[in-house]
Amino acid sequence: MQKRFFLHAIALATVAFTATATLAQDNTFKIGLILPMTGQQATTGRQIEAAARLYMAQNGDTVAGKKIQLIVKDDTSLPDATRRLAQELVVNDKVNVLAGFGITPSALATAPIATQSKTPMVVMAAATSSITQASPYIVRTSFTLPQASVALADWAPKNGIKKVVTLVSDYGPGIDAEKYFKERLIFNGGQVTEALRVPLRGPDFAPFLQKVRDAKPDALFVFVPSGAGAAVMKQFAERGLDKAGIKLIGTGDVTDDDQLNDMGDVAVGVVTSHHYSAAHPSAMNKKFVEAFSKANKGLRPNFMAVGGYDGMRVIYEALKTSKGQGGGDALLAGMKGQIFESPRGKMFIDAQTRDVVQDIYLRKVEKKDGQLYNVEFDVIKDVKDPGKAK
């Protein structure tokens, strides 16, 4: 009798447990956010996670009747780890969306998982042009290197910069930056006299910068991923390139807002092109910077943060349009074609390419009230990724 009661109780408990689990599953919308939280790209992870949490704090954690659950995983920026974590998130956690992706190899390693499982994959950081072509389930809210580089190659020759040496990290985004900057500079009558590439992992810029000093170009064009800019800037000054009259120019990754304030006077006057500056003078951005800083002990948001914040917006709105029904395909459809105001300015997810179309700004580092900022002085409107035209 006692045994029967016991078994019955277990059965009931199991039913109750399964019911709760199913209910939780049905009412939960899971976002698997894979980021480099440690290692060389750790600032990217810290910025994007903070921005995603800010978006949730400001917009609530219930959307279309679903409770949003953010699952953050650290891939230490190793693509094998990214892929393994994505697989686990899809199979075990049954996430509705994959998001994050601090560097290009991590995004590319995960693309087949997105395709096979029909899971939308929101790339919030990685910026090699070809990424969106690696899976029809990829949507990007960051930027592309061709998008940012071309604007600077238009600006440079009009401003006395004809002879340039390029220095890029030797992988996807660096190769894109080198190629698109060079092609456009030549088109505009300038020349790239030398194209230098430094390893992504543990780079030592000193010997490369010595070469640049000897070559005496009008300017050095730099692409290094977010987090590496301060080291370049420091060694640029230590090798006396600024004193030798060589200008430093680059995509905005090098004067990253996360590090800019600590770079010192060598950064003042550096001209870069990019899609986001913490100093972007819009009401929306002022609010964003203030709220981000307040929630994160005074941290200034950089372009990675804005990619994360807008990525969350794209996910939330897609969930609203699909009313939480129809799975990955319906969600993806709701992401395509979104147009909205971001802290960076107006942005648009091109329904054909699933890539971001946005304004690119020319900016100069200036000191304001003792703080360094990328101050925007010109804008090219609605720039599509030039990499897609080929």
Tell me how crowded residue 294 is: count the other CB atoms within 10 A of its CB.
11
Q: In the complex, which residue's CB is closest to ligand PHB?
A: 225
Nearer to ligand PHB, 120 or 173 (CB): 173
Output the smallest distance, CB 202 to ligand PHB, in A.
Answer: 16
Output the smallest distance, CB 32 to ligand PHB, in A.
Answer: 19
Output the smallest distance, CB 211 to ligand PHB, in A.
Answer: 23
Output the smallest distance, CB 172 to ligand PHB, in A.
Answer: 6
Output the smallest distance, CB 58 to ligand PHB, in A.
Answer: 25
Q: Are 49 and 32 in contact (CB under 8 A)?
A: no
C-alpha span between 239 and 216 (Å, rounded): 13
Give the interface with ligand PHB as residue ranges (CB under 6 A): 103-104, 125-128, 172-173, 225-226, 253
Nearer to ligand PHB, 44 or 338 (CB): 44
Nearer to ligand PHB, 63 or 103 (CB): 103
**101's tokens:** 């992706």
Nearer to ligand PHB, 45 or 345 (CB): 45
Output the smallest distance, CB 252 to ligand PHB, in A.
Answer: 8
Q: Are 182 and 150 in contact (CB under 8 A)?
A: no
Q: Are 304 and 100 in contact (CB under 8 A)?
A: no
Q: Are 106 and 75 in contact (CB under 8 A)?
A: yes
Tell me how crowded residue 257 is: count the other CB atoms within 10 A of its CB.
27
Nearer to ligand PHB, 121 or 125 (CB): 125
Residue owning tokens 């049905």: 26
Parallel, antiparallel, or unpaired: how do β-strands 66-74 and 28-35 relate? Answer: parallel
Nearer to ligand PHB, 155 or 276 (CB): 276
